Amino acid sequence: MKASQNIYDVRYNKRTRRSNMKKEGNTIMSGFISNSDKDSLMRASYYQITRNFTKTVNRFIVFKDDDRLIEIPHGISQRSKFIDLMVRYFEEIEEYEKCERLMKLRELVIMAGD
């Protein structure tokens, strides 16, 4: 699949998801954390998992702090779902380059057995 196709797919899906979200009236994380905290968390996770694709596929660490670590284990089909959640977030704020990079990572995660 070409990169331009991924960007088109992301933009198309963004429009359909936005209309569905308006019908539902809320988002997954609404009411739990502030928008600035949500943004900080999503960006930290994005940079953590896209820093090195090989390491991420082997050990899917989504958040790392001084002494804390959040990792999604292999084989429970949650890695690709987490990536999908991040893609939806970055679609909403129209950062399509991040979406494209996440979709590449998602393909690798699925090929490795999620």
* Tokens 């569905």 -> residue: 20
* pLDDT tens for each residue of the chain, 114 residues long: 444 455 545 554 545 454 444 444 445 545 678 888 999 999 999 999 999 999 999 999 999 988 899 999 998 999 999 999 999 999 999 999 999 999 999 999 999 988
pTM above 0.75, yes or no: no
Asked if 80 contacts 110 with a C-beta cutoff of 8 angstroms, the reply is yes
State the Rg of the chain over Cα: 14
Q: Which residue has the tokens 């958040």?
A: 63
H or E stretch at 71? strand 69-72
Work out the angle between the directed axes of helices 3-24 and 79-92 (0-180°, nearest 10).
Answer: 80
Domain locations along the chain: 3-24+37-111
